[in-house]
Amino acid sequence: MALHEQSLTYVRAISPYQPGKPITQLAREMGLSVEQIVKLASNENPLGMSPKARAAVLAGLSDLARYPDQFALQQSLAERTGLGMERVVLGNGSNDVLDLIARVFLAPGRSAVFAQYAFAVYPLATLSAGAEPIAVAARDYGHDLLAMRQAIRPDTRLVWIANPNNPTGTFLPHAQLREFLQGVPADVVVVLDEAYNEYLPPAERVETIAWLAEMPNLVITRTFSKIYGLAGLRIGYALTSGDIADLMNRVRQPFNCNNLALAAACAALDDHEFVAASYALNRAGMEQIVGGLKRLGCTHIPSHGNFVTFRVADAVLVNQKLLKQGVIVRPIAGYGMPDWLRVTIGTETENARFLVALEAAL
Ligand SMILES: *Cc1c(COP(=O)(O)O)cnc(C)c1O
């Protein structure tokens, strides 16, 4: 029997994650120079990384012969959140902690619930643990919490929620979310993925961390990949009960976060100026891009993240025409949204380049 047939059936059923096209790849394909290319495809921070984090990385270069020590970052996050250090689980990107949760709670014969158009990693993590994904029809491109509650079966062990959601940018007001969480059976874990939390305006930002005190089945995940600008270093974390954290640590690779990422994340947490500048740039850029999309007659989904998803008549063609002009956005046909493209908010200049290129492409 062929080796391929010996692999796990549920692994063969997985469709691989499709990342945003790397700049160097487009440069090779189109014969463009790297400098001519604007990448607005992966929700990366257009300001790059915090200068404090950069300094920490350079200082960390002298210590790379040593295995990493997670203590400082765990302690810093524990202080900021008011939780004990044992309730902070670090990951090689928050993607890593999502996978840890799946490995702790999912297996063949179990299922996980998430919304149609929710983050692609949820079906991936569910399928790679051999569990059954239950995708619940979206409502206005966002989570339909009532339908999600009804979709929970006796074999359901996990519910995945992204708030704000990627790729749609939709946001669940915290009162609704809280009511949902209170209605989920106590033996079902809910993952609340807050990768874009820091981009929410203060009025919408509720301390969901306080909910952990009354909801032992809640896992909150956050990342340094977005507003902190450290996507390339791969660092994120989960906040949860001591019990769940302990289980996650049992399947976690002992040294899953590298020295440079740990040092950069510690420094980034303290760079309030950089976070504030990133937030302000995103607000202004969101207005600029949404204004441009309206002017060009493109429908968009109001977004609470650092990206916006908009509809065009022929997304494959428009994407090709953008690529030819050196502008990379994200087609989301893989999410079941073949008529939509997702653009990350860039600098003012990048946003303007995108809008000029889009106008030419339409
Ligand atoms: C970007 C993103 C993440 C973060 O992934 P990392 O592995 O931390 O880079 C997590 N969840 C959602 C919904 C995202 O969009």
Grouping H, G, I as helix, E, B as strand and the rest as coil, residue 91 is strand
pLDDT of residue 18: 83
For all residues of the chain together, what is the average pLDDT?
A: 96
Tokens of 285: 């850029």
Asked if residue 225 has its Cβ within 6 Å of ligand 1, the reply is yes
CATH tag for 51-269 (out of 3.40.640.10, 3.40.109.10, 3.40.1260.10, 3.40.190.10):
3.40.640.10
Residue nearest atom 1 of ligand 1, based on CA coordinates: 195
> What's the pTM?
0.97
pLDDT at 360: 98
- Give me the CATH topology for the region 19-48+273-361: Aspartate Aminotransferase, domain 1 (3.90.1150)
Closest among 281, 315, 240 to 86, alpha carbons compared: 240
Confidence of residue 287 (pLDDT cuts 50, 70, 90): very high
Annotated domain spans of the chain? 19-48+273-361, 51-269
Indicate whether residue 163 lines ligand 1 (CB < 6 A).
no
Length of the chain: 362
- From the number of C-beta atoms within 10 Å of its C-beta (0-12, 13-18, 19+), residue 268 rates as buried
Ligand 1 neighbourhood includes 167 CB (under 6 angstroms): no
Cis amide prior to 338 (ω within 30 degrees): no
pLDDT above 70 for 215: yes
Q: What confidence tens digit (pLDDT) does each residue in 83-125 have?
A: 999 999 999 999 999 999 999 999 999 999 999 999 999 999 9
Please state, in angstroms and rounded to a whole number, the distance separating the CA atoms of residues 333 and 354: 20
Same fold, 19-48+273-361 and 51-269: no
User: How many Cβ atoms sit within 10 Å of the Cβ of residue 64?
Assistant: 10
* Residue 322 one-letter amino acid: L
* Dist. CA 134 → ligand 1 center (Å): 20
Atom of ligand 1 nearest to the CA of 231: 9
For residue 98, report the distance from its CA to the centre of ligand 1, in Å. 9
pLDDT for the residue numbered 16: 85
Q: How far is the CA of 138 from the centre of ligand 1 (A)?
A: 20
| CA 258 to chain centroid | 20
Under 8 Å between Cβ of 123 and 105: no
Ligand 1 centre to CA of 235 (Å) is 10
Question: Is residue 1 over pLDDT 80?
Answer: no
CA–CA distances in Å: residue 65 to residues 7, 92, 305: 36, 19, 38
Which pLDDT value is given to residue 17? 86
Q: Could you tell me if the CB of 197 is within 6 A of ligand 1?
A: no
